[in-house]
Structure 1
């Protein structure tokens, strides 16, 4: 049984979806005013890995991740570039989709945009005003946080702490308009005629950030759904406010399992990577110099709640691991297609079954990928040793390879069938070289080896015959 650490309860809980074998999942997406850095991408990779594992375990997953396509930063950046907010959003939504595609992140079932749901947002706010949870002042609409009795439970903060913190960050306008320092904005008035805005019963303006996710998630997934994910920094105030306004409106539990991923850290002091700190590297730039599969595996190979430290050593380890996976896949393919007979190996068959079960047990424990991969590496070593034998169990190898491909897909690693696109020219050269070696014509054999090397093909002579692979350097 899968267990999930629920941020709300601070406990691992057995996962019981609302509908059997179906999972409804919402993950907070980016504010699209710039390229995403790998700290942003970590959240996308973490929850894509979780989604893929749930699918590997047989669940049908409806996965929704939004775009915040209007906010203060976007308005400021669009004005700076003398373009519309919509033009800015479209540019960086396209960039996000390109970057996540390169990282082999599955497309969401739906990517709602805040600006496409303005009517729904206004209706949601009106319902909160009608219930007395929200109030209008000078074109602003605020949510009465203190009226929601569970406010602060997700982030484990009490009302007094929150009030003191909020009081220190209020603007003069907020002091003049808010009933309570804790209250948060649902609707903002237009500040100048050129600023993007929509007509509403509260005056011309735009939605606040928190209300957008409540509306988009409940609109697409229902008043109560299974999983809500995002970075640790979203626990307060964003997710705390989502719970308050959603449950105040519907009277229903908003989310059953809250999940939050850890940060990407950099530097000797393990500082959180962020745009505000200026210590970030964008995925857009990094993909120009780094293999996308390596970058994906670097982020996917750490349990989602733990921090990841970005440095050269950890990236090099990810490169070596990915190459190890590829080599193993190629070696299995080669032995499955060589001319030797298959020999039953009951011990190996049982080991594969045991280790696959152990992998699932590790992953079922709050998606503990480190423990899962440790088990998998042990099995891979045993498979590699078996591949060196003169006779192998091809049935076991084929069964392992099929399961191995499924598991690697969870981590976003996919394998190419190298033989499928091997050109006739290369096939002919390999055959010609084999003939030259059999005739002890080593000069011709070496010449063909060098020719293939120039073509990016590396030849390996094994006891089972000649094999090849593409040069990854």
Structure 2
């Protein structure tokens, strides 16, 4: 096992630090603004990883932090004339709501950076005592990590200090080396006056990188199994986390998992660039939360997603085919329960969490199930339904499981739609009973225009959203 594995390539070969248990730390968001679907890709990818370990029988401790004190948060607070914490908390609420709407399992712990400043102080003090960090000599109150004191710096990203630009997180005069990065930032006159804590080095606030190292140690201990985050965090954030943690004598993360980005045009989706697509925009396209989750989970997590409305709609239609099959099969043979996973699906998931190959197996089972439906082969249909539900459960999109089945995801309104369609179908049934075929057809056509397809079956009319 290598320290700097960049992914859990073969999940079947994964060896946890503690038998039967997995500790995962995911770098969460800096909450200077509301989330976009690039952020939500991260949540979905690691939710699938977590579900897979749970399926394999592991007890999973999943930590996802909130960065609520940071340069970007303070800049937004200054520009808006608001307390930094009010901006951070408002955006944290939006983020939590979007996670729920996408069926993301809540983390075991979700620490805020501002709640762990004492742990950061302790870690910084250890680094100073070990000769890996130093207070700035210019009286600024800054404390910097000495990059040259850690020879392994750059091993994760494959970069070396001599090939890097200096870090812009403090004045050059305060640093021994331009590449040294801030662990603690002294008071600045142009930043909010309520964003500081007392410390042994003077009033100030933590640097970004020290936050994650301190919180990971607090909730997962000195060594844990998997550290996750976006590919853009590999350097400098994760590189700096490794340096400061290992320099303090912490073994830290044993595996690193980085997901690729979601691009809009030629650039990554980014709040700072202003090129974002959020959940409300997706809903305006008529795409439901379950369909968005399917879209985000379908590509391999290390594959870049180039967003387009058309690609999202195509994914929505693909999910609707699966959803329609599950509902039709459940009406005929009963919902049953998620069943045993096909061997090919398991092999795909064990091979670096290959959801793209895994979904090919799902659609193969869908074809088998549709054939069984047409042939009224209930035994085969029952097995296909159990397999499809089992696989979709791992991906978090089983139509008969919470939150999709009971309409509890704030934006989907499934219960309201059910009631409205039921009312329209009752009006259609009344028209048919009095042989007013024109009125009955008009109701069906109006529903079709709204995206609801009505099918007359031996058990009565049934409806689905989208294409048959």
SS at match of 1:149: coil
Q: 1:252-401 alignment to 2 at 5 Å?
A: 252-267=250-265, 270-289=266-285, 290-336=287-333, 356-389=342-375, 391-394=376-379, 396-401=380-385
Q: In 2 relative to 1, CA 151–233 (structure 1 residues): closer, same or farther, beyond 3 Å? A: same
SS at match of 1:12: coil
SS at match of 1:460: strand
Deviations 1:222-266 (A, max 9, x none): 1111110000110011000101111111x2421111000001112
Shift in Å, 1:123: 1.1
Does the aligned pair in 1 maintain the 2:184–2:204 contact within 8 Å? yes
Q: What is the rounded CA distance, in whole Å, between the counterparts of 1:6 and 1:246 in structure 2?
A: 13
Q: What is the rounded CA distance, in whole Å, between the counterparts of 2:188 and 2:100 in structure 1?
A: 37
1:197 equivalent in structure 2: 196
Q: What is the rounded CA distance, in whole Å, between the counterparts of 1:9 and 1:232 in structure 2?
A: 10
SS at match of 1:110: coil
Q: What is the rounded CA distance, in whole Å, between the counterparts of 2:2 and 2:460 in structure 1?
A: 50
Q: What is the rounded CA distance, in whole Å, between the counterparts of 2:445 and 2:225 in structure 1?
A: 53
1:145 equivalent in structure 2: 147
Q: 1:430-469 alignment to 2 at 5 Å?
A: 443=435, 459-462=454-457, 464-469=458-463
Q: In 2 relative to 1, CA 329–117 (structure 1 residues): closer, same or farther, beyond 3 Å? A: same
Q: In 2 relative to 1, CA 449–181 (structure 1 residues): closer, same or farther, beyond 3 Å? A: same
Q: In 2 relative to 1, CA 60–337 (structure 1 residues): closer, same or farther, beyond 3 Å? A: closer
SS at match of 1:388: helix
Deviations 1:20-40 (A, max 9, x none): 222110110111110112222
SS at match of 1:106: coil
Q: Could you tell me which of 153, 156, 172 is aligned with 1:154?
A: 156
Q: In 2 relative to 1, CA 332–218 (structure 1 residues): closer, same or farther, beyond 3 Å? A: same
1:184 equivalent in structure 2: 181
Does the aligned pair in 2 maintain the 1:37–1:281 contact within 8 Å? yes
2:75 equivalent in structure 1: 76
What CA RMSD, in Å, does the superposition of the two structures yield over aligned residues?
3.2
Shift in Å, 1:447: 5.2
Does the aligned pair in 1 maintain the 2:366–2:388 contact within 8 Å? no
Kindly name which structure, 1 or 2, has the bigger radius of gyration based on alpha carbons: 1
Does the aligned pair in 2 maintain the 1:433–1:444 contact within 8 Å? no
1:60 equivalent in structure 2: 59
Q: In 2 relative to 1, CA 366–97 (structure 1 residues): closer, same or farther, beyond 3 Å? A: same
Shift in Å, 1:409: 2.4
SS at match of 1:61: strand
Q: What is the rounded CA distance, in whole Å, between the counterparts of 2:8 and 2:95 in structure 1?
A: 33
Does the aligned pair in 2 maintain the 1:148–1:244 contact within 8 Å? yes
Q: Count matched residues.
A: 440
Does the aligned pair in 2 maintain the 1:125–1:186 contact within 8 Å? yes
Does the aligned pair in 1 maintain the 2:369–2:385 contact within 8 Å? no
Shift in Å, 1:181: 1.6
SS at match of 1:256: strand
Does the aligned pair in 2 maintain the 1:141–1:185 contact within 8 Å? yes
TM-score (ref. length: structure 1) = 0.84
Q: What is the rounded CA distance, in whole Å, between the counterparts of 1:448 and 1:386 in structure 2?
A: 31
Q: In 2 relative to 1, CA 104–333 (structure 1 residues): closer, same or farther, beyond 3 Å? A: same
Does the aligned pair in 1 maintain the 2:8–2:256 contact within 8 Å? no
2:391 equivalent in structure 1: 407
SS at match of 1:443: coil
Q: What is the rounded CA distance, in whole Å, between the counterparts of 1:42 and 1:264 in structure 2?
A: 8
